[in-house]
A and B are shown apart, each in its own frame.
Chain A
Amino acid sequence: MSFDVGLIIESLPMMLSGIGITLKLLVVSAVLGLLLAIVLLLMRISGKWYLNWPAQAYIYVFRGTPILVQIFIVYYGFPQFEFIRDSILWPILREPTGCAIVALSLNTGAYVSEILRGGVKGVSKGLLEAGSALGMSARQKFIYITTPIAVRLALPAYSNDVVSLLKSTALASTITIADMTGIARTIVAETYAPYEIFISMAMIYIAFTWVLQRTFGVIERYLGRYTKREA
């Protein structure tokens, strides 16, 4: 057994070529998931049971099942039905990348909506009462008081969720997508050098995570710039 550094340098360009797909999966699913999360959040805090219950059931199901199973249901399961193959969604669901994005967005949406709900619940009652005292309508209070504070409160947990979304994109390799992990698996199958390839791949992911956490740290500090007290 030996650790072949030459092989890492040799296959590094190939491994990095998957970064584009990983990024695409991450960004598109994060944006779609966030939109879905906002809809779910509004349903949950609407106070109407016929909106609240479906949202709660959705969140329960998607948080209680493995993301891998969800990806398999979308990719392998949906084409079982004639009507899905005839529907307008078929161009998306025919492609493995489309399936991965659909599954990842649906999954992350459930998690993020709970994070946002935590943020909304964390807004202190006194501020909302102050808003009422100033004669703000419910909508104004939500837009000008709840939203800015909830965003700040939810951001640290949200950054953790983006990191786990990044880690979930690696599962796209199980449905034939050539993301970073997919390419690493191909190289290992050809060279049979799991240590060199998988460890350097892990380092790329860790670097990626680090960049994400740094970015969110900067955003957090920017959003919190008025909340700091002078010492």
Chain B
Amino acid sequence: MAQVFVASLVLMTMFGLIGAGAKLSNNLVAQKIASAYTVIFRGTPEILVILLLYFGSAIALTSLAQLFDPEVKFVDVPPFWAGTIAISLVVGSYATETFRGAFLGVSPGSIEAARALGMSPLQTFVYIRIPEMWRIALPAFGNHMLSLVKDTALISVIGLNETLFVAKQAIATTNQPFTMYIFVGLIYLAFSSVITLSVMGLERYGKRTTETAR
């Protein structure tokens, strides 16, 4: 679960940044692709995306492999990657909007001030935009992380050996579904509590210079 979470967190952030970059760019094609991306992945159930990526990529890879070696019967993508990419794509589509909003939320005055101080566009981006952006994006980004944690449970559907899947196997031997699933729930609850607390801590850290002046 932790592995899936870390891998999908990295990918989700990447998809979100690419999507936001495309939406904010002046390139019309990139804009269109990015808005298609957000519409498609925000409107499709996560489980459908997972199933499509897993079974779909298996078929694509198999036919590709058969081009080179007709003997090959079946190739599949590891459920870990199919599932991780699927949930990152879905949550990344939400993150796209978050990052875009954060970029637009940077106050024009700060940017003008940076220009007035003779900062280059790169300096403005690193010293002005990023510090303001992450503070704006953080609360929503925390929610995206929580969605990711909860979505990792869905990957058990394609047979990844994660918490929920292990619980199913344990139930097969102990015959105590309630106890096992409650335990799984507690593990998830602990995991999401850690994230909530870290985000709260980061938010307080982000506000340390702006709140004390009052």
**Using a CB–CB distance below 8 Å, which chain A residues touch chain B?**
1, 60-61, 63-70, 72-73, 76-81, 163, 166-171, 173-174, 181, 184-185, 188, 192, 194-195, 198-199, 201-202, 205-206, 208-210
Q: List 24 A-B contacts (CB under 8 A).
A: A63-B146, A66-B151, A66-B164, A68-B153, A68-B156, A69-B153, A69-B181, A69-B184, A76-B171, A76-B178, A76-B181, A77-B181, A81-B178, A167-B44, A174-B47, A185-B51, A194-B52, A198-B56, A199-B52, A202-B43, A205-B44, A205-B45, A205-B48, A210-B43
Write the nearest CB–CB distance from B147 to chain A, whole angstroms: 9
CB within 8 Å: A-B pair count: 123
CA distance A8 to B150 in the complex (A): 32
In addition to A63-B146, A80-B176, 19 A-B residue pairs with Cβ atoms within 8 Å of each other are A61-B189, A64-B146, A64-B193, A65-B192, A66-B149, A66-B154, A68-B164, A72-B177, A77-B177, A77-B181, A163-B42, A167-B46, A171-B47, A195-B56, A195-B59, A205-B43, A205-B44, A206-B39, A209-B42
Write the nearest CB–CB distance from A10 to chain B, whole angstroms: 19
User: Contact: A65 with B185, CB < 8 Å?
Assistant: yes
Write the nearest CB–CB distance from B140 to chain A, whole angstroms: 12
Contact of A66 among B45, B59, B150 (CB under 8 A): B150
CA distance A166 to B150 in the complex (A): 17
Given contacts A80-B176, A181-B48, A192-B59, contact A65 B164 (CB under 8 A): no
Closest to A168 in B: B45
CA distance A168 to B46 in the complex (A): 8
Instruction: List the 6 shortest-distance A-B pairs measured between CB atoms, nearest first.
Output: A170-B45, A77-B178, A194-B55, A206-B43, A66-B153, A209-B43
Closest to A184 in B: B48
